[in-house]
Structure 1
Amino acid sequence: MPLARDRTVMFADLRGSTGLYGSLGNTQAAEVVTRTVGLLSQVVAKHEGAVVKTLGDGLMAVFAKPWRAVNAAYEMQESLRRIVTGSPSGATALCLYITAAHGEIVEVDGDCFGDAVNVAARLLDHAGDNEVLITESVYERLRADDRRRFKSLEKLHLRGRVEPCRVYRLELGRDDAAPSTLFTDFADPPVSEGIRLALDETPGTVFGSHSMPVLIGRSPECAFCVDNSRVSRSHARIEWHSGHFHLTDQSSNGTFVRFTGNPETVVLRRATCTLHGSGLIGLGGAPADPRSALLHFEIIASQ
């Protein structure tokens, strides 16, 4: 007989395993992936959750208490960092995407169904590398101390839903962690002290490391305001730590980076890359898309 109850639904998706099989070989890669998913399952049980099913390189779990799901998500990310550190070099490509939503679910033959399941699953499309995203339904049920660990993002339009969804991101010690970048041939860019941002052909504005973080978006409250319909109110964020500038997308339409002298475009969707040299930043579309807002950036190195 179907059983209905309120639960927090979590999806944890391990990505990067395809490249892992190519770099490590089937046997070693399978061992790393299996061990990782097994550890994630142990973390769920430790925080009084229940694994509903494993999904290839990930899992679906439910928790009676939202705060237990949040603590489990945090420990999962920390566990993955330890696994990557202690595994063969190819495992560094592994990233963990975690999402959670709260609501009534129906349990049938060991599986779970309901709106919270659908929302948590579709929210994975918007998660960036090693991010934990939760819906407002989870956030509202957290204790004050737990809420302070989250940052509110722009409302997202989830696949198959009419109304946008308010989403929050767990801050995982971002000042200490090395942000991800899609370019590996610039392993040691020079220490940076300033960045110049210019919209179209304007002279631009220089932001020093002391003035970080810099918010870019449509809102007048942003340090660098861009009036364009494809730009979110709080579209992107530039931070300075460990001697470098890092650009993080927190928008609905994405942020796109093309470095001078490199034809490839870095696509950021809730992800981060290290800025170096100079180039173009497309807000809401690729730099070649005339509908997107186009920023010119230049890193000003210390003398």
Structure 2
Amino acid sequence: MATTLELAQLPALARGFALLGSGGGGTTTMLELALAAPDRWPITLHDVDELDPGTPCLGAAFVGSTMLLGERLPGEAPFAPLVAAVERWLGVRVPAVCSLEGGGLNGLTPLALADERVVVDADLTGRAVPGLDQMSLLVDRVPGIVAACDTGAGGVALVQTDRAVDLERVIRSATIQAGGAGGTVFAGFTVGDLVEHSVLGGTRRALELGLAFQAAVSAPLEQLAASLGGRVLGEGRITAVDADARDAHVSSVEIAGLGGEVQRVITRSESLAFVSDGRLESSAPAIIVVLDALSRDILEVTDLMLARNVAVLELPAPEWWHASPERLARVMPSVYGLAELDAAR
């Protein structure tokens, strides 16, 4: 069933995708501003079963450093040359668009292409993840995927490979050459492929989460968590932020719990796990949300600083990741070398 999205719903939609970012995925402010023009709305959101399964589809996202995107804003149509490149490669126009990443700013990205393409309510992650090789189409080894990205100065790189890690490395290298951040487009798949090989309904989930968050943001913490379908993991004051000796990208954020517990949020580009008094309480693919305990702002991992009072919530993981051991293995902490943080399957 098609859903009509209105401009007035944009703030709630953005808050929902911020929650699904699990501390990563980039802040939504840039795209909220870009999408604020009234003439863009309303936007119709389609389920996969409303469209011909043979309809070619593309996924769009910003990759690299989301902090740089705030300093060096993308142009008016950042995906246009990338879409043109994949359409030339495929030899067909691609009339539908979905999101590559269903958390953080990229949850909103397909709405920026809604004036030219049909928006499909599907994405390739259901939460923020750091690697392009973690996109669901690649995890499930759907053949024929092609990707294009910025290389800087108007250049475009196009990659087609059966090895997901090659695509990740080439796109990442090209993005670094482009200055550290830019657009990426996936194509070579159809709306029918999304039925089995994507997370469905993520935009509607984000909207529901955002509306619930807005309605209960001032409520007691337990009530707020329940309204989101989640649970409270902990609350307290940050007393230390230490880099992991094995991986400088991994940090342990120590929290002095209100009841005297020693709590830790383990982060990389997203929050990966929560530990209390040495017990693993939650880990990816569960979505770990850290809020400022006073303002209830949704925090990125880069916002977790000494002396900040925080509350930590857990939201359920997208079921897609739990459908097979092969999928789950691509999103658990062990994929980052942190096997001790894997929850029981």
Q: State the TM-score, normalizing by the size of structure 1.
A: 0.29
Which of the two has higher C-alpha Rg? Answer: 1
Higher relative contact order (CA 8 A, sep 6+): 2
Q: State the TM-score, normalizing by the size of structure 2.
A: 0.27
Higher strand share: 1
